Amino acid sequence: MEQEHLKKGLWSTIICLIFLIGLIFTYVPQAASAPKIITWNVALWGGERDWTRPLHRWAEDMKKGTNGRWQINLHYGSVLGPSKEHLDGLKAGLFEAAQFCAGYAPGKTPLHTVAELPFIAPKTPKHMCQMVAAMWEHPAILKELKRWKAVPLIPATVIQFGLMGNKPIRTIEDFKGLRIRITGEQARVVSMFGAVPAMMPSSDFYEALERGTIDTVASCWPFSFGAFRLHEVSKYATPNFDPGSFFCGFAANRDAWNALPEELKKLHMEWYRKAPEVWGEEYKKGFIKWIPIFKKKGITIIELPAEDRAKLVSKAEIVYKNWIERMEKKGLPGREVFDYYMAKRKEIAGF
């Protein structure tokens, strides 16, 4: 009787083992073939604003379109690195993607600064973003990114600059002695009219205005002033300065991009092509949101007279010529890139 029980127990054990082995062979291949989750970290500075808000839509669309295979984390506040060093971070592989502005470190991507030349950029946000995409089709521009192991990610840029600060700009004469935060190439024009330019990242605007170390800020109208709360420490604004803007864009680490499966690249490139429309829509929302807030805060909005703005524009050709010469002296195709930009602007914006 005891032997019979032992036999039954042994058979039960064998049957259980066979069942467990079957389960292993059933589920292990499925686990092995489960898609790998790809995680990207994106380095950003400042807080969420009109320029970065569409990134959330992109990240969500990539997640949905890949059933969660591509997870994109957006890191604000320069927590992954200083704004001037985002290209360095891409090169070192510290993160997979980042925003960068050529004017923050013009020596790193000098040819990109063609888009920062005064009064050269198209007027509308959509056209400005389309110009970024067009620039990234030029071999010399792409070569600059290659130095930083970077590739284009999204062709979206910041928009035309207005002015906000504590000195009114009513005529061209008001630029005399004006301590103004403005980009390097545009600074060359206002300097001809007596302005004193200063360069600083957007994260420093508020403190500089509050302490009085600068009189006014040239930045993206209107969202940048609202996003960085400059209306809280300012009295005047000039929205129609429109000297152009920074070249700012979103780039990815080349190795991270190359490692993406082809279907993910295809999904992203479909989004890439519609990016100028998306950013154009977001910037329109900024105009609706921020201008009433500025007026409620008591900001006096002043339009620069057309004849005074024309005087500024008249000096732009000198800056263009000097920029081309500086690039050529560095052994870079300045004339070629400038002519390419102007041809593309004609094609995209009609002038």
Residue 23 confidence (pLDDT) above 50 = no
Q: What is the mean pLDDT of residues 290-294?
A: 97
> Residues 40, 45, 48, 49: is their CA dihedral positive or negative?
negative
Torsion of the alpha carbons at 70, 67, 47 and 178, rounded to the nearest 10: 70
Q: What is the mean pLDDT of residues 103-118?
A: 95
| Residue 12: pLDDT band with limits 50, 70, 90 | low
Q: What is the mean pLDDT of residues 312-320?
A: 96
Which residues are CB-neighbours of 63 under 8 A, at least 6 positions away?
A: 70, 71, 72
Q: What is the mean pLDDT of residues 126-152?
A: 98
Where are any strands of DSSP class E within the chain?
Answer: 38-43, 70-75, 97-101, 150-154, 161-165, 179-181, 196-198, 216-220, 236-238, 248-253, 300-301
pTM: 0.86
Which residues are CB-neighbours of 343 under 8 A, at least 6 positions away?
A: none
> Residues 240, 141, 344, 96: is their CA dihedral positive or negative?
negative
| Residue 202: pLDDT band with limits 50, 70, 90 | confident
pLDDT in tens, 39-92: 999 999 989 999 999 999 999 999 999 999 999 999 999 999 999 999 999 999
pLDDT at 14: 46
| Residue 203: pLDDT band with limits 50, 70, 90 | confident
Angular region, 272: left φ>0, alpha ψ -120 to 50, beta rest: alpha
Single-letter code of the amino acid located at 336: E
pLDDT at 294: 98
| Residue 183: pLDDT band with limits 50, 70, 90 | confident
pLDDT at 224: 94
Angle separating helix axes 139-146 and 334-349, nearest 10 degrees = 120
Report the residue count for the chain. 351
> Residues 164, 165, 168, 170: is their CA dihedral positive or negative?
negative
Calpha distance 116→283 (Å, rounded): 19
Percent of the chain beyond pLDDT 90?
A: 86
> Residues 319, 324, 327, 328: is their CA dihedral positive or negative?
negative
Where are any strands of DSSP class E within 223-328?
Answer: 236-238, 248-253, 300-301
pLDDT in tens, 263-290: 999 999 999 999 999 999 999 999 999 9
Residue 28 confidence (pLDDT) above 60 = no
Q: What is the mean pLDDT of residues 312-329?
A: 97
